[in-house]
Amino acid sequence: MSTIAVDAVNPPSNTLTVGSTGQFVPAVGTTGERPTPVQGGFRFNTTTIKFEGYNGTAWAAVGGGATGGGNDAVFIENGQTVTTSYSIPAGSNAGTFGPVTIDAAATVTVPSGSVWTVV
């Protein structure tokens, strides 16, 4: 296993550990501990218990999909409250299971040509 550092005198705050049969361990922390964002940034959020990446505009969950007991990947889950403003990317559609509440300080923007469906 080896750790890669760009500058041995002033090592970066984030390092990459690589093992031939081991695992890759990204940065880990709470939502409140998010670093200054850089497009393409990747980390594990211990508040949301999800991997997330910075897309140049906002932190967003990475991966996911259906979950369930054992190999039963049949449930898609989402929260019920929008607390942070979000814009659906132009030319994309989004789906949410409701009911959904949007906080007074938050907005959801659906550009022309896009659709947000709440089921």
What does the domain layout of the chain look like in residue ranges? 1-64, 76-119
Confidence of residue 57 (pLDDT cuts 50, 70, 90): confident
At residue 22, the pLDDT reads: 73
At residue 67, the pLDDT reads: 74
Confidence of residue 110 (pLDDT cuts 50, 70, 90): very high
Strands (E), the chain: 2-4, 16-18, 27-29, 42-45, 50-54, 59-61, 81-82, 86-87, 93-96, 101-102, 108-109, 115-118
Evaluate if pTM is beyond 0.85.
no
What rounded mean pLDDT belongs to the chain? 84
Q: What is the dihedral of CA 100, 105, 106, 110, to 10 degrees?
A: 110
- Higher-confidence residue: 37 or 12? 37
**Nearest-CA neighbor of 64 among 77, 54, 55?**
77
